Amino acid sequence: MYLMMKMNNKRSSKEKLIEAMADLLLEKGLASTSPRDILTRAEVGQGSLYHYFNGKEDLSLHAIKYNVEQLISCNTSVLNTDKNAYSKLSDLLLKYRNINRGCLVGQLARDRSIMENKELAAEVTRGFESMKQTLENLIKIGIAEGSISNVLAPLEAVTLIISTLQGAYISAKGLQDDSYFHLTINTLLKIFIP
């Protein structure tokens, strides 16, 4: 019965609001997203927003958590394959990545309005930490099994990977040429070929 509710594709107004906001945070950012935008996207009335949440920032917290969970579950599904560590790394950096939408947590970290709010920032940091932990484990396994080069220590490798991934979106944006995203990631991967 409870499962039925979750599986039902008729989402509640509350869910619609969270998902709409989660999208909008990636698309327009917190400051530029107005209540109007949210209501239009969610297809619910204004009453619902203020019934379920204490305003925009409160809804943001739920939306950010939603995005972080999405990222984590996405990463988990990549890890649960039987490829070698290097292939998994490649998948993490290229699969499920939409250059227009940007990184699920990176976009949030770049949002000043979000990072200026301690509560919201903490949630974003949780996402980054998770990503970092996931990558660190993966690198260690890769080095052990020989599919990933050991030129860099795991922590160095992880730091480089996360930064480069985040920056790849920005370079592509700044140069106004999306091909730089893939060029960057492919170059990055090259470094880890044993």
Partner DNA sequence: GTCTATACCAGGATAGAC
Partner DNA sequence: GTCTATCCTGGTATAGAC
Binding interface with its own copies (CB under 8 A): 28-29, 31-32, 105-106, 108-110, 112-113, 115, 121, 124-125, 127-129, 132, 152, 155-157, 159-160, 162-168, 170-171, 173-176, 180, 183-184, 187-188, 190-191
Distance CA 185, CA 164 (A): 8
Q: C-alpha dihedral over 124, 138, 86, 89, to 10 degrees?
A: -10
Q: 137 and 89 in contact (C-beta within 8 Å)? A: no
Query: CB under 5 to 8 A by kind: which of its own copies, DNA, none does 127 bind?
Result: its own copies
Would you count residue 27 as binding DNA (CB under 7 A)? Answer: no
How is residue 113 written in tokens?
């309005």
Would you count residue 33 as binding DNA (CB under 7 A)? Answer: yes
Q: 92 and 111 in contact (C-beta within 8 Å)? A: no
How is residue 14 written in tokens?
């509350």
Query: CB under 5 to 8 A by kind: which of its own copies, DNA, none does 50 bind?
Result: DNA
Query: CB under 5 to 8 A by kind: which of its own copies, DNA, none does 137 bind?
Result: none
Rounded to 5°, the CA angle 186-191-192 comes to: 100
| Chain position carrying tokens 């292939």 | 87
- Show contacts with DNA in window 52-111 (CB under 7 A): 52, 54-57
Query: CB under 5 to 8 A by kind: which of its own copies, DNA, none does 47 bind?
Result: DNA
Residues forming the site for DNA (CB under 7 A): 12-14, 31, 33-36, 44-48, 50-52, 54-57
